[in-house]
Amino acid sequence: MDSYTKDTHRYAFELVKAARSMPVDLAEKLQHIKQLRFNYQLKALRKRINKRIT
């Protein structure tokens, strides 16, 4: 992985790198970009759930 600290930055920069060589809609379907987006969404969901519980 790259040295970006935030998941949103990792996702955005990987998407830009991939989009240079293909359309963005195809770049979003690449497996490693899907995984980055999933990890970011999961972290946000956990944060939202924990906020409601406490």
**DSSP 8-state code for residue 28:** T
Where is pLDDT greater, at 10 or 52? 10
Given this model, what pLDDT does residue 7 score? 78
Q: What is the pTM of this model?
A: 0.74
Q: How confident is the model over 7-51, as pLDDT tens digits?
A: 788 889 999 999 999 999 999 999 999 999 999 999 999 999 988
Tokens of 9: 């930055």
Given this model, what pLDDT does residue 54 score? 63
Tokens of 43: 């972290």
Given this model, what pLDDT does residue 52 score? 75
